Structure 1
């Protein structure tokens, strides 16, 4: 079982929580879908929740919108505890929660503006007022010219924009996104993420993203929570978790978007001390902003060489991941030197000939 890893309290504590979960538990037979989940989401924050299939993401979001009742624990939405509420008492609260879905869930027999205005019709708004609100939201999501169109006439990205507008109709305090970009192509995904970020910025809207797509979290979220078998195993600012994942679950989930040791070298790695050592170096934040590689090369001019890697930026923070080959005689000194510069270092093994 992975130990729950969290980054420093100064960077993760919140001053005003829209969501607060305390020791949430939900079982289905012998399976613990949620096994003691505690987390909070600050007003105006974008939190990404990632995990493999079966990690508990869907159960978590169903508990948040009241479709699933936890076995124990506490759920507070915008300061109100909801776990003991009746179905009738939940209805007003659900109006504070907007939902966007993977498959859009639009009504095919209604026009775009009618789909957007539907939550307001249910609330009893007069027709003129709800259509005016729909027009305002369609302009916000870039679909002013599609008010009279039907869902069948729209692209996937346009359908999701309608879904977002509908979710915002009742001015929610919280937007829940359940794999909202999974059915979209990469270009459309980027445009939808840019829209969500814009809405977050303009409206100060709190967004919780449930996803298995690491790029989604990387591009838009402020913080990330990693679920595994119903438990939180790691959480913190996105740039920190992505640059220095601490658990095997997180490392596996991020393997597709973090630099990896080239296969032709990885296949020749040996645990023995023969040949050059291959060292993985992760460095982020202020340490990565400095001349790290230059300092390393100057300290070990004849004993080290860069095999693979580079510096990226996540949430405006520099993040570096490098694979360095170094002579067996110098590996201990290089590891100590890199750690003094603020890096996290792992000796992966040795290669008998040049990498």
Structure 2
């Protein structure tokens, strides 16, 4: 479905590839508060892009600017190549049908059946009843709820309600699906099932998905790329595994910290600067560096006593990403330099966290 032509010139930004969304220098202020402060971002056709940030970072304002509910103070919003900033409310209506939204709290109409909720966007669009019901049946089969077509939302579980919400968001065959904290109100098991469904829809339909979340686990599970937003700015962006492997901003390190190995608090509380019986190193590895026998190679090449006190290797987008905490016994400056040089030469990032007086 293409947007209707306008008589006046349309600002099309050539990109050299199919971009569903392109934001250029987007700014939105509320009084003295900058909700968005120069956001530039691209969502490519067929990808899952995750935008993550804490509450108040600007995620909700970003969504509202995407579908024209908020007008930016400056900058440009392109949807499928069309800049929407100068469109009237009437002109925005067909564009909004190109964007499906899945909400945190489902937003289903309690007085309508499941199939009526799914078909609602098509009813608003003026589609014939038979077409609406056929499309609703097709989508309910896609989300695994065909048997609930005549049920009412009150009889559904949270996960089932969200599946209905996803089906409704797909009713008008959108080019972009916005998932606005869609799993925040769900338990972990249900969250996994919803994320699996979104990934399946992305794969089967080639649908572009923009995930808005504050949960790094959601990003790790299904996103292709991630953009980290803080205080209205994109502070970091890249493929998920590379950002996980080498977070550059403090906010990203904090968000990732909740799902990456951490030094046990009883050891962290004993760390002191200077020297001690053992030196505690944090070693981050990813890709090829995480596939080799790093610690056994270290023990064979560098004299000394080494103990792994905490850590593990995860797999993100098929790439190994690991964090290890190593205790090095009696490490003087020269010995420690030899250890860190060996590890860095093999692609690891090494940080000396401190020293402890006795064995940990």
TM range (shorter): over 0.9
In structure 1, which of residues 152, 155, 172 is the aligned counterpart of residue 174 of structure 2? Answer: 172
Farther off after superposition, 290-299 or 24-33:
290-299
Residue in 2 that maps onto 1:353: 358
Residue in 1 that maps onto 2:331: 328
Query: 2:96 aligned with 1:94, yes or no?
Result: yes
Q: What CA distance in whole angstroms lies between the structure 2 residues aligned with 1:14 and 1:28?
A: 35
In structure 1, which of residues 192, 199, 202 is the aligned counterpart of residue 201 of structure 2? Answer: 199
Deviation at 1:353, TM superposition (A): 1.1
| Structural mapping, 1:184-223, within 5 Å | 184-223=186-225
Deviation at 1:78, TM superposition (A): 1.0
1:245-291 C-alpha deviation (Å, 9 max, x unpaired):
11111111111101000111100011222332111111111221222
Farther off after superposition, 270-279 or 25-34:
270-279
Gaps of 5+ in 1: 1-12
* Residue aligned with 1:21, SS: strand
Q: Are the equivalent residues in 1 in contact too, given 2:118–2:164 (CA < 8 A)?
A: yes
Residue in 1 that maps onto 2:11: none
TM-score by length of 1: 0.94
Aligned residues: 343
Query: 2:241 aligned with 1:239, yes or no?
Result: yes
Residue in 2 that maps onto 1:4: none
1:335-354 C-alpha deviation (Å, 9 max, x unpaired):
11111101111111111111
Residue in 2 that maps onto 1:118: 120
Farther off after superposition, 196-205 or 264-273:
264-273
* Residue aligned with 1:253, SS: helix
Larger radius of gyration: 2
Q: Are the equivalent residues in 1 in contact too, given 2:286–2:321 (CA < 8 A)?
A: yes
In structure 1, which of residues 23, 29, 32 is the aligned counterpart of residue 31 of structure 2? Answer: 29
TM-score by length of 2: 0.93
1:93-128 C-alpha deviation (Å, 9 max, x unpaired):
001000000000000010000000000011111000
CA distance 1:123–1:141, change in 2 (3 Å):
same
Deviation at 1:301, TM superposition (A): 5.1
Deviation at 1:300, TM superposition (A): 3.2
* Residue aligned with 1:73, SS: strand
In structure 2, which of residues 344, 350, 354 is the aligned counterpart of residue 339 of structure 1? Answer: 344
* Residue aligned with 1:18, SS: strand
Alpha-carbon RMSD across the aligned residues, in angstroms, is 1.2
* Residue aligned with 2:85, SS: coil
Residue in 1 that maps onto 2:54: 52
Q: Are the equivalent residues in 1 in contact too, given 2:23–2:41 (CA < 8 A)?
A: yes
Q: What CA distance in whole angstroms lies between the structure 2 residues aligned with 1:337 and 1:240?
A: 22
Q: What CA distance in whole angstroms lies between the structure 1 residues aligned with 2:129 and 2:173?
A: 17
Residue in 2 that maps onto 1:66: 68
